[in-house]
Amino acid sequence: MAQSCSSETSSSSTSSTAVLAGVAAVGTTMTLLWLKHKIDQMAKKAETSPFPGIPTAPQGHWLLGHLPRMELPDGFQGVKHCCHDYADTKTGLCAIWAATEPVISVLSGKDAKAILMASKTKPDIRIVALHFQKFLGAKNLLSMKGKEWKLYRTAVHKSFTPAMMEQSQQTITKVGNTLSDSLLCALQQQSNNSETIQMEIHPLMKMATSDVFFETMVGIDIQACQKLELPVMATSFEFLAAEFQRRIGDPFDMAASLYCIPTSANRQHARTTKTVRSFIMDHLTKAKQQQQQQTSTNNNVLLEIWKAAEKEAAAVGESVNMEAVCDVAMTLFFAGYDTTSSTLAYTIYLLAKHPDIYQTCREEIDAVLGNNTGTITGPEQLPYTQAVIYESLRLHSPVDLIARSLEKDTTLHGHVFEKGTTCFLPLMLIQQHEMNFSQPLEMRPDRWVRPTTRSADDNKSHKSQWEDRPSDDTASSDIAPGNRDALVAFSMGARNCVGRNLAMREAVTLLACLLHKLHFELVSPSYELKPVLKLINQPGDGLPMVVKARQ
Ligand code: HEM
């Protein structure tokens, strides 16, 4: 009896297990089918435009939307694929799924200006903000927002005074002359008696921008141009920038976002961050002490920024510590180092590719500098050289793409985009689009300048024979005047590049110092530039060129 009871129990428990297994199997199948249905739905959605009537690129990923396509294969082509190749040819509008977020991309300079002038808010992407914080610190201007951003932005803006610019002009000229002299020295010291030397131009420009940054901002001469060697600060910074790009590029790599795990990459990140930050903080501490004891007359823009930020903060009952000033310094170095050095490298490349423009630029520089008797007081003294830099920025914008979040409902070409919509502004594509510039892929400085209309009396020595071209002047050249509203390399509006004036001063002056004493040639007529996007658009191979002394 007991046996039969137990066999009954066991057969009923077997059958209930079988029922449970059946239910589980049906449940799992239903869940999988539901998931598949959801994924199919999302995939279908990723194929359709988030904004009816606006074209979108095909093959959106069901979860990541067009983001994987925007990365491939080298950044530039992905952005071109999504923001240009499928854009409406009349309006330049293109719709994009950034994961499940609808985004509108614009190509018209007028639309870009309208968005940038109206919106200072950047889209809130937590993972980007996290990596920016780990790279540059919590008070980095690039990802800060609201009142906090305003406080530090105002402090930086107020510290970039005309007096500071004048002093930085002297520093930049000194750095430009040191670099030229070091290259002349390297040419003389060659054992093979050759009159030329082959060098990578981009690292040389990085040496110059590092020297300018540290002398202008912290008041120290790190002598990169004198030694023709990239300083540890610059190489450490490049490591951190590469790490930022690597970590942000793979959001599914958990270890890349968890900086506290003791992996070798995280340990090296922590060590390098410490090296860079200790360097800045040590110099800030020393500079502050010297200032209190009045023992230094060195210019130190960081101290000015600190003072200005304390003043702004005190007005709202807050304070500013040295860590925050260090974060600002990190941001300024990141924002100004690769951008300006890439611009200079691309400019020298473009000049070597266009001998006529090179010759005109050199003539202007020689006229202004004379037999080394003239001095450069600012970029306005060299309008043609400045126009050459504009064309370089237009054709090779160091910043490829920026984003804004609309602060109010906005109508573009009859489409209404709600407040909060994310907008992509592909700066390089905007500047290379025929809806904004005629012959957009041609290097034509005469879009921006024309031969001077000054009277002969006025054309004394040390003066350029060129002047800015007004936007209504259609007579002085066969090309239409440059559209200043579509020159967006420095962005526009409240959140534009705060270092724009310094960058233009740096680019024009360093270029003038170099071209006055040296000649640059392509390594071979068939040499083709290979741009890469390492956060900033830059020459992938360092840009090898042949350097000669000018007679
Ligand atoms: C050719 C050189 C440069 C180019 C093309 C350039 C371009 C830009 C662009 C496009 C932005 C806007 C970024 C965005 O909206 O996400 C920006 C922002 C910024 N730039 Fe530059 N930049 C250059 C040089 C410099 C220099 C020399 C400095 C300072 C020393 C600097 C400091 C900054 C800062 C702090 C921001 C953030 C501003 C804010 O968000 O309020 N830049 N730059």
pLDDT surpasses 80 at 454: no
**Of 294-308, 431-445, 510-524, where does mean pLDDT reach its minimum?**
294-308
489 close to ligand 1 (CB < 6 Angstrom): yes
Average pLDDT over residues 326-338: 96
pLDDT, residue 192, reads 77
pLDDT, residue 291, reads 81
Average pLDDT over residues 439-449: 98
Smallest CA separation from ligand 1 atom 36, residue? 497
Let me know: does 202 contact 542? Beta carbons within 8 Å. Answer: yes
Ligand 1 center to 500 CA (angstroms): 7
Ligand 1 center to 503 CA (angstroms): 9
Residues of the binding site for heme:
497
**Of 128-137, 427-436, 449-458, 471-480, where does mean pLDDT reach its minimum?**
449-458
pLDDT surpasses 80 at 444: yes
What CA–CA distance (Å, rounded) separates 137 from 114? Answer: 31
- The residue with greater pLDDT, 24 or 253, is 24
Average pLDDT over residues 361-379: 90
Average pLDDT over residues 389-413: 97
516 close to ligand 1 (CB < 6 Angstrom): no
pLDDT surpasses 60 at 384: yes
pLDDT, residue 1, reads 41
Average pLDDT over residues 13-41: 89
Let me know: does 404 contact 115? Beta carbons within 8 Å. Answer: yes
pLDDT surpasses 60 at 179: yes
Please name the residues in contact with 472: beta carbons below 8 A apart, sequence gap of 6 or more. 481
H helix runs in 48-161, sequence order: 67-71, 76-80, 109-118, 126-136, 146-159
Residue to substitute in 497, 498, 501, 510 for testing ligand 1 pocket (most ligand atoms within 8 angstroms of CB):
497
Question: pLDDT-derived band of residue 218, with 50, 70 and 90 as boundaries?
Answer: confident
CA 117 to chain centre: 19
495 close to ligand 1 (CB < 6 Angstrom): yes
- Cis (ω within 30 of 0) for the bond into 73? yes
Ligand 1 center to 232 CA (angstroms): 23
51 close to ligand 1 (CB < 6 Angstrom): no
Ligand 1 atom nearest to 494, measured from its CA: 41
187 close to ligand 1 (CB < 6 Angstrom): no
What CA–CA distance (Å, rounded) separates 126 from 99? Answer: 14
pLDDT surpasses 60 at 30: yes
For 492-518, how does the pLDDT look when each residue is reduced to its tens digit (9 = 90+)? 999 999 999 999 999 999 999 999 999
pLDDT, residue 11, reads 65
Average pLDDT over residues 70-76: 78
pLDDT, residue 254, reads 84
Number of neighbours of residue 399 by Cβ within 10 angstroms: 21
Number of neighbours of residue 402 by Cβ within 10 angstroms: 16
Please name the residues in contact with 526: beta carbons below 8 A apart, sequence gap of 6 or more. none
Ligand 1 center to 302 CA (angstroms): 17
Beta strands 196-200 and 544-549: pairing type? Answer: antiparallel
**Of 5-19, 219-233, 255-269, 479-493, where does mean pLDDT reach its minimum?**
5-19
CA torsion angle 71 136 495 113 (round to 10): -10
Ligand 1 center to 391 CA (angstroms): 18
Question: pLDDT-derived band of residue 248, with 50, 70 and 90 as boundaries?
Answer: confident
pLDDT surpasses 80 at 12: no
Ligand 1 atom nearest to 144, measured from its CA: 40
Average pLDDT over residues 303-318: 94
Average pLDDT over residues 347-352: 98
Residue with structure tokens 């924002």? Answer: 335
Tell me the pLDDT of the chain averaged across its residues: 92
pLDDT surpasses 90 at 3: no
pLDDT surpasses 90 at 457: no
CA torsion angle 500 505 507 512 (round to 10): 160
Question: pLDDT-derived band of residue 2, with 50, 70 and 90 as boundaries?
Answer: very low
498 close to ligand 1 (CB < 6 Angstrom): yes
**Of 54-68, 82-96, 334-348, where does mean pLDDT reach its minimum?**
54-68
Average pLDDT over residues 282-311: 86
